[in-house]
Amino acid sequence: MENLTETERMTIERLLRRERESTLEAIGHFDESSRDLRERAGEMSLYRLHPADLGTEAQENEKEFLLASQEGRRLYAIDEALERLYKEPEAFGTCRRCGEPIGLPRLEVIPETPYCAVCAAALEAGAPAAPDAA
């Protein structure tokens, strides 16, 4: 299996961090009252890097909170991708569904995606997330 090189992973990390910044900015620009949302979203990621410090209930609350908006969902996906990148750098870039390499060209466009183009299309068409899992 072809994995990303370290240089390629660094490129992806840079892309993810930049997307994270612009997503946080987008959240902050929704309206005045969303300043809170931006702060909470920023805190959330710090928590996620130390999951042991946080109870399951609090984590679920933060997740629900973020998933309530489109930008929040994107931020959640980006944070999840960064977490995967840090925890399992060797596995990053392989499709969560079929295990094939996602490919750098696709990751450069959608760095947070856990799926290859084939699986992403299948999922959009309503296919099960993990056909091989029991």
**Residue closer to Zn ion (CB basis): 27 or 116:** 116
Which segment (8-16, 29-37, 104-112, 115-123) binds Zn ion by CB under 5 A? 115-123
Considering only the stretches 28-36, 75-83, 111-119, 124-132, report the one whose residues sit in contact with Zn ion under the rule CB under 5 A. Answer: 111-119
107 binds Zn ion (CB under 5 A): no
Q: Which long-range contacts (CB under 8 A, 24 or more apart) does 49-53 make?
A: 49/83
The verdict on 74 binding Zn ion (CB under 5 A) reads no
Is there binding between residue 116 and Zn ion (CB under 5 A)?
yes
Q: Which of 91, 98, 104, 110 binds Zn ion (CB under 5 A)?
A: 98
CA 98 to CA 6: how far, in whole Å? 22
Contact indicator for 41, 34 with CB cutoff of 8 Å: no
Q: Is 97 a binder of Zn ion (CB under 5 A)?
A: yes
Number of residues interacting with Zn ion: please give it, by CB under 5 A: 5
Q: Please give the full DSSP string across 9-76, using - where no structure is assigned.
A: HHHHHHHHHHHHHHHHHHHHHS-GGGHHHHHHHHHHHHHHT-GGGS-HHHHHHHHHHHHTSHHHHHHH
Q: Is 38 in the site for Zn ion (CB under 5 A)?
A: no
Q: Which residues bind Zn ion (CB under 5 A)?
A: 95, 97-98, 116, 119
